[in-house]
């Protein structure tokens, strides 16, 4: 009984901190800083992203821009994770395939342009 409870807590903590591999892709998003001196990759939970989006003025630029927690510049953008090689890349910097999908800069696989 005690062991089961501990296992449940561990599973819960893992899902909250987003360290359980595949699950992380659903519960968190990756931001990439475009500041050439920084290029920090940051994990943000979807709840945090929603908070940032809500705080933004409605007329603000699209794609959504975020403050980089490392260099404190408004230079971080939401990245797309390639399902094949798990590389995080910025969709607006990626090439488009003939069918209008993104092309992963790592493995050149086609990544579906699903709206966030
Ligand atoms: Zn940065
Ligand atoms: Zn890839």
**Could you read off the pLDDT of 2-61 as tens digits, one per residue?**
666 666 666 655 555 544 444 444 578 899 999 999 999 999 888 888 888 787 766 655
> What is the CA(2)–ligand 2 centre distance, in A?
42
Whose atoms come closest to the Cα of 87: which ligand? 2
Helices and strands per DSSP (H, E), number in the chain = 3, 9
Whose atoms come closest to the Cα of 108: which ligand? 2
> What is the CA(1)–ligand 1 centre distance, in A?
46
Structural tokens at position 109? 């696989």
> What is the CA(14)–ligand 1 centre distance, in A?
26
**If we measure between CA atoms, which residue out of 61, 5, 59 comes closest to residue 34?**
61
Count of beta carbons in the 10 Å neighbourhood of residue 88: 17
| Res 4: pLDDT | 66
Section 61-85 average pLDDT = 89
| Spatial separation of the C-alpha atoms in residues 25 and 104, rounded to whole Å | 16
Whether 85 has a pLDDT exceeding 90, the answer reads yes
> What is the CA(107)–ligand 2 centre distance, in A?
4
Whether 96 has a pLDDT exceeding 50, the answer reads yes
């Amino acid at each position: 009984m005690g062991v089961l409870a501990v296992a449940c807590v561990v599973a819960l903590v893992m899902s909250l901190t987003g360290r359980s591999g595949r699950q992380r892709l659903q519960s968190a998003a990756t931001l990439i800083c475009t500041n050439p001196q920084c290029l920090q990759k940051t994990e943000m939970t979807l709840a945090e992203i929603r908070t940032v989006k809500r705080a933004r003025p409605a007329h603000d630029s699209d794609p959504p821009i975020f403050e980089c927690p490392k260099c404190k510049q408004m230079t971080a953008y939401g990245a797309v994770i390639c399902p094949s090689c798990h590389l995080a890349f910025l969709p607006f910097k990626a090439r488009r395939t003939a069918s209008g999908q993104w092309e992963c800069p790592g493995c050149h696989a086609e990544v579906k342009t699903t709206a966030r």
